[in-house]
Structure 1
Amino acid sequence: MSLSIVLPAKNEALAIGVTVAGIRQHYPHAEVIVVNDGSTDSTATVAETAGARVVHHPYSKGNGAAIKTGARAASGEIIVFMDADGQHDPTDIPRLLEFIEQGHDMVVGARQKGSQASVGRGLANGLYNRLASWMTGHRVADLTSGFRAVRADKFREFLYLLPNGFSYPTTSTMAFFRAGYSVAYVPIHAAKRIGQSHIRLLRDGSRFLLIIFKIGTLFSPLKIFAPVALLMFLLASGWYGYTLHAYGRFTNMSALLYSGSVMVFLMGLISEQITALMYKEKN
């Protein structure tokens, strides 16, 4: 199977040359695409000198937008996405491709302990992994890893879902699970990045969390709506028990909460039907 390796890059002149050279050393016949996301330094020049094909954004559109551009430009049947900052080791690529050859549709390099850039980010990723595992019903070892191999035709099915920011790994993983495609995880060690990170924990962390719930409503809406409906039902029952004991009557608040729980649950059922139509297989 033909192979394309896509690296989104914004102001990565310090790392991109070494990264591309390492890929070229191990995969001289692979198509290496660097998506220059409006860099203001010499990222594009360094990448071209190292042997990559550079696709330009006239201005910065975001990491996810660069991924989409790279996926559209790639000619390989298999696409490997890597960070351009030197965190990912090209020698790990064969381990990902081995699982692709076994029949998986997406293989993710799951960062092990000691690979996180900070304690805060490690805790946040742990939370994201648990939420995603609960929503999908499958173990998600690393939801936000940018090092992954995918079958190009299947990945392109979900380009319209991918956000333009840093959350493409989250969205693509959840979408593959929802579509019934096979996802596997390979343990890797991510090195310390070269240069300064573009991710801000509080700003981008809240966006990741929001996207998990947004994709959760696309993936399995009842897992979002049903707990809310149950909570409202329990609150209604508790308040009804209190008012019946204290005042001997059924109050408007209990009626409102009971009605709200039923409405939320029905909204979840309708959302499930809409989601099924969205993922209906097209001939």
Structure 2
Amino acid sequence: MNRLSIILPAKNEGPALKNLLPRLRQAQPGAEIIVVDDGSTDDTRDICAAAGVTCLSSPYSMGNGAAIKRGARAASGDVLVFMDGDGQHDPADIARLLEKFAQGYDMVVGARDWGSQAGVGRGVANTIYNWLATRMTGQVVEDLTSGYRAVRADRFREFLHLLPNGFSYPTTSTMAFFRSAYPVAYLPIKAAQRVGKSHIKPLKDGIRFLLIIFKIATLYSPLKLFVPASMVFFLLGCANYLRTFLAYGRLTNGSALLWSASVIIFLIGLVSEQITALTYRKSD
């Protein structure tokens, strides 16, 4: 039977952990539980000690993704379950994730419904991410950014070098699994309101979330993003040429620049495709 490790990144989540850890131990008494303390200044370490769970502490905050990577390296289980330490995720859902996982999947993601999204803005952004990821992969992606997931440990560790130190590790790991043809499944869950204040900063993380859209494409197949963009510039160049030819009877610099941009964008996509293929090549 596979050994289970449950990893919770936490930064000043003491009040939530005080309630969550006993429930987690009751739901999965045989599991290894690891709380990765991302530079907390509260009583996180004392709460973990009282609950009898492992606490890996960082001297300063390195980011949610960095905590995930540290926990994945330290875990001894064959199956890893990642969940937030802020009380949003129900420990009872772990059994459901593992039941689905046992059907032959390498990753099972807890998919939140609209009512479980942290605000309308986050819900709209996640809907856009899910749609784009579905278009890129050809598979239905129900929740690209959910942090509640069960994964096969050896598969997940293949991609640790790709994971960012920030908040977008779910996006990166999901697209990496799809790219490597590791089966991924989604399981509907309900997420509660977090305990305490969110660590996400709207302006800074809003810009970062926009960059996730480009990461989705470049992690899976860059040409699927760059070829359409190249075609748009090419058609704009043709349209501009038609307009200037009918009006002035000549080719203008604007059309030449648009066509040049089309070629450059396509070549960038071609190079990116080769770099992506090398990124996923296993080392000896």
TM-score, normalised by the number of residues in structure 2: 0.96
1:233-270 alpha-carbon deviations (Å, 9 max, x no partner): 01100110011100111122212221221232132223
Cα deviation, residue 122, structure 1: 1.2
Alignment of 1:27-106 (within 5 A): 27-106=28-107
Unaligned ranges ≥5, structure 2: none
Alpha-carbon distance between aligned partners in 1 of 2:206 and 2:138, rounded to the nearest angstrom: 23
Tell me which residue corresponds to 1:116: 117
Alignment of 1:187-202 (within 5 A): 187-202=188-203
**Conserved 8 A contact 1:128-1:209:** no
**Conserved 8 A contact 2:172-2:219:** no
Tell me which residue corresponds to 2:272: 271
TM-score, normalised by the number of residues in structure 1: 0.96
Moved over 4 A (4+): none
Cα deviation, residue 211, structure 1: 2.7
**Residues 51-60 or 201-210, more deviating:** 201-210
Alpha-carbon distance between aligned partners in 2 of 1:151 and 1:114, rounded to the nearest angstrom: 29
The residue matched to 2:115 in structure 1 has which SS?
coil
Alpha-carbon distance between aligned partners in 2 of 1:175 and 1:28, rounded to the nearest angstrom: 31
**1:185 and 2:186 equivalent?**
yes
Alpha-carbon distance between aligned partners in 2 of 1:123 and 1:266, rounded to the nearest angstrom: 32
Alpha-carbon distance between aligned partners in 2 of 1:218 and 1:145, rounded to the nearest angstrom: 18
Tell me which residue corresponds to 2:207: 206
**Conserved 8 A contact 2:105-2:185:** yes
Alpha-carbon distance between aligned partners in 2 of 1:214 and 1:79, rounded to the nearest angstrom: 24
- Cα RMSD, aligned residues only: 1.4
**Conserved 8 A contact 1:21-1:51:** no
Tell me which residue corresponds to 2:139: 138
Amino acid at match of 2:143: D
Tell me which residue corresponds to 1:156: 157
Cα deviation, residue 281, structure 1: 4.5
**Count of aligned residue pairs for this structure pair:** 283
Alpha-carbon distance between aligned partners in 2 of 1:58 and 1:257, rounded to the nearest angstrom: 51
Amino acid at match of 1:77: D
Cα deviation, residue 162, structure 1: 0.8
The residue matched to 2:197 in structure 1 has which SS?
coil
**Conserved 8 A contact 1:7-1:82:** yes
**Residues 109-118 or 78-87, more deviating:** 109-118
Amino acid at match of 2:191: A
Alpha-carbon distance between aligned partners in 2 of 1:59 and 1:274, rounded to the nearest angstrom: 33
1:79-131 alpha-carbon deviations (Å, 9 max, x no partner): 00011111111110111111221111111000112111212221121122112
**Conserved 8 A contact 1:20-1:51:** no
Distance 1:281 1:159, change over 3 A: closer
1:108-162 alpha-carbon deviations (Å, 9 max, x no partner): 0001121112122211211221122222222111111110000011111111111
Tell me which residue corresponds to 2:11: 10
